[in-house]
Chain A
Amino acid sequence: MEHTTAIHHDEHAGGGTKEIIKVTVILSVLTVVELALGFWMMKLEAGTSLVHAIKGTIVILMLAKAFYIVGYFMHLKHELRNLIMTIVVPLLLFVWFIIAFLYDGNSYKELRNNYNPYYKEKSLEKAPLKKEEHEEKKPAVE
């Protein structure tokens, strides 16, 4: 493994304790904002456009966190552009994956709800209330 020592690895741009602290603070703040949005969402009625907007915001914050982890903690931002492209370009397939699969899932739901009355009837059945519901109020310590 002689060849591995030939690479001068400490000549990267960036790095340093300052950057680590900065990224840590950014990640923590983004997480706190995500959680705040999560708590806010609990008080809102499900399915409204406001809730969808909050969920979209959470996804954008999630992608920002991913950028900071990959770019700074995993150091990808300071690598050569060839390496960045090698890793990031194949991941662009996810754009198509997500759009195609979620669209397909949604269309399957619409089809079943529109053309399969049995499915629709079944999906509107209320869940049976559990008998031990009152017991669950006790703190369940394992």
Chain B
Amino acid sequence: MATTTVTTAPKYWSGGKSPFNVEYGKLMMWCFLMSDAFTFGAFLIAYGTTRFATSGWPNPNEVFQSFPGLGPGYPLLFVSLMTFILIISSVTMVLAVQAGHQMKKKAVVVNLILTIIGGLAFLSCQAWEWTHLHSEGAWWGSNPFPNADGTAATTNFTNFFFTITGFHGFHVFSGVIINVVMLIMTLTNVFEKKGHYLMIEKAGLYWHFVDLVWVFVFTCFYLI
């Protein structure tokens, strides 16, 4: 940083003028989400490649068929519940962002709390499912489920399942933490003093991305 250079015109764009009409943080959030999309995409494509390269594969309807309190025999039911929890929490997040635009603090707080509850509910569901699968003998490097045609399966299925849903669950967890921080900042009037709730919008982008990833994970692991 030589002091002799002229300081009137900055050499690099520093967010002063917005070429995309979004503030700096939001643009950076989009960039981060794009890179994160490539990370998840790489995971899912690795899963798909392995599945295409393997002769047999476990039937998801035989693996994921338990519901808490009901026992086995209910394929797709529990994962439908998880999917709807995440969609609804995404909706409450949109409502929180919208309330932020209108500077309605109370509505922001209510919707953020609902979003956090949704996130925690999803994490609890996932914790139950992982515990249940673990009790059946499934874990990284251990696959008790045979292929759909009855042949012996490799551990690829459980390895990919736990890695990808684990990575997604970690994103949900960080999203809940971010939303809790947003809630605290709202309650302490940080955004009121700033005059805008744009920070909620960035947290919202992250939260919707988590929901978006689940759409893909849900389809690739449970449906197809």
To the question of whether A and B form a pair in one complex, the answer is yes
Which residues of A does B touch, CB under 8 Å?
A: 3-7, 9-10, 15-17, 20, 24, 27-28, 31, 34-35, 37-39, 41-42, 46, 55, 58-59, 62, 65-66, 69-70, 73-75, 79-80, 82-83, 86-87, 90-91, 93-94, 97-98, 101-102, 104-106, 108-109, 112-113, 120, 123-128, 130, 136-142
Report the separation of the CA atoms of residues A31 and B218 in the bound assembly, to the nearest whole angstrom.
10
From B54, B55, B70, B209, name the one whose CB has the most chain A CB atoms within 10 angstroms: B55
Q: Contacts A34-B223, A74-B212 given; 20 further ones with Cβ under 8 A?
A: A28-B84, A31-B84, A35-B80, A37-B223, A41-B223, A42-B75, A46-B59, A62-B215, A74-B208, A75-B201, A87-B34, A90-B34, A91-B37, A102-B49, A104-B49, A105-B53, A109-B53, A123-B55, A126-B151, A141-B69
A127 contacts B224, C-beta separation under 8 Å: no
Quick check: A66 and B216 within 8 Å, CB to CB? yes
B147 interface contact, C-beta 8 A: yes
State how many angstroms separate the Cβ of B222 from the closest Cβ of chain A. 8
Interface stretch among B16-24, B160-168, B171-179, B181-189?
B16-24
CB of A105 within 8 A of CB of B49, answer yes
For residue B208, give the distance in angstroms from its CB to the closest CB of chain A: 5
Q: Does B148 lie at the interface of the complex (its beta carbon under 8 Å from any beta carbon of A)?
A: yes
**Which of A15, A35, A62 is the one whose CB lies under 8 Å from B76?**
A35
Least CB separation from A16: chain B residue? B98
Selecting from B1-9, B117-125, B131-139, the interface stretch reads B131-139
What secondary structure prevails in chain B residues at the interface with A? helix
Closest to B216 in A: A62
Among the listed A4, A31, A94, which residue makes an inter-chain contact with B25, where contact means beta carbons less than 8 Å apart?
A4
Q: Is B39 part of the contact surface with A, judged by Cβ < 8 Å?
A: no
Interface residues of B in 12-55 (CB under 8 A from A): 15-16, 18-25, 27, 30, 34, 37-38, 41-42, 45-46, 48-55
Provide a sorted-by-A list of 6 A–B residue pairs whose CB atoms are within 8 angstroms: A7-B18, A55-B224, A69-B212, A79-B21, A80-B20, A127-B147
From A5, A24, A80, A123, give the contact of B56 (CB < 8 A): A123
- The answer to the question of B180 belonging to the interface, with a C-beta cut-off of 8 Å to chain A, is no
Beta-carbon contacts under 8 Å, B76-111 to A: 76, 80, 83-84, 87, 90-91, 93-95, 98, 101
A128 to B147, CA, bound (A): 11
Q: Are A127 and B152 in contact (CB under 8 A)?
A: yes
Q: Is the CB of A20 within 8 A of B95?
A: yes
- Tell me the bound Cα distance from A25 to B24 in angstroms: 32
Q: A46-B148, A106-B52 are in contact. Are A20 and B98 (CB under 8 A)?
A: yes
Question: In the complex, what's the smallest C-beta–C-beta distance from A90 to chain B, in angstroms?
Answer: 6
